[in-house]
Amino acid sequence: MSTTEPTWGERYAASLMNTFGPPKLVLVRGEGAHVWDADGQEYVDLLGGIAVNALGHGHPALVDAVTSQLQTLGHVSNFFTTVPQVELAEKLLDLLGVGAGGGKVFFTNSGTEANEAAFKLTRRTGRTHVVVAEGSFHGRTMGALALTSKEAYRAPFEPLPGDVTFVPYGDADALAAAVTDETAAVLLEPVQGEAGVVVPPEGYLAAARAVADEHGALLWLDEVQSGMGRTGRWFAHTQPESGVTPDVVTVAKGLGGGFPIGACIGIGAAGELLQPGNHGTTFGGNPVACAAALAVVRTIEDEDLLEHATVLGQKLRDGLAADPRVTEVRGEGLLIGLDLSAGVSAEVVAAAQEAGFIINNPTPHRIRLAPPLVLTEDDVNAFLASWPGILDSAMGEQAMGEQAMGEQA
């Protein structure tokens, strides 16, 4: 009889549903943009919980805000409001440039819940048709999944809430052809994150705004991954050249800096579509989550992290693009995607982890980086210095694998 204690991985497999596959690491501690695993190994976290940990790990402002609020008032039902809830709603409307009175906010616990709320909001127009982009990702709950294009995610759960048309992302003509007078909303990510950080051509969002206006449809922008300073701006759609004001914006991820919170924001008349009895949430907008989000926003402002993300992001993109095995680098701020000359992204992720860096591979040819906004220049320099060796290791593993397959044949 074995007396060996089970590993954390074995305990995970025995007790958690197998929705994510085996975990890559057992992480036990974090500080800034660094994390440590159960064996004491240190890593630079260049994924940030997939664009969530805006202030990194253990930021004093976030810790203090959550601790103080939990000691003061932890939860109330939606029969009541709290000061942090009202202040955060006002702040989000200010950041969108419409101000209090220019829109209304519904708070949720996550991005998929924010998109569920927005989906229900679009039904209040009296229409059901939604036009969405190929390559989109809007969540895993049934409504949000109906708006997510990846067939592998959708097929096991069909039939899904219907009347959805998918069109190629960035193709304004295809968008115009799909939108009709029966369309409730056009739903787009200003930058597609899950697809590998895909940036649309200039003028695309303006074209979407125009076609939505032509047919009386809502323009709904999913900023769950791209919002809250991630691109060096509060929202990716607010680049000066676009001049686009959406009807609905959904945010989450970086909003709470790791504390679960999301928001569905209706601008102008769209903010009045959901009325009492139309929707609800138990935990959404609770005072602790709202206090956390306020701390994140204020820290981004106080520490000038929008400019920091812009400068460091450019340095990262330039350094990554310098290697000829990288065929394209995309993104803004600290939301970065790149294409590899070979389909070895899984090997690149493994080699990076071995070298002490956490990155992500959304597709076989693509790598995604979404590090904390508090990432340091030293962290960037260390990663760029290791990058050629990471690619050497990954490309070498692929070559050896192909050679072995050839010998077996």
Q: Which residues are catalytic?
A: 137, 222, 253
Amino acid identity, position 18: N
Neighbours of 16 (CB within 10 A): 10
CA dist 206 and 237 (Å) reads 10
27-31 β-sheet, strand order: 27-31, 34-37, 42-45, 357-358
* DSSP class per residue in 352-369: HHHTTEE-EEEETTEEEE
Tell how many helices (H) and how many strands (E) occur in the chain.
13, 15
Helix (H) or strand (E) holding 27: strand 27-31
Helices 305-321, 377-408: inter-axial angle, 10-degree rounding: 40
CA dist 251 and 235 (Å) reads 9
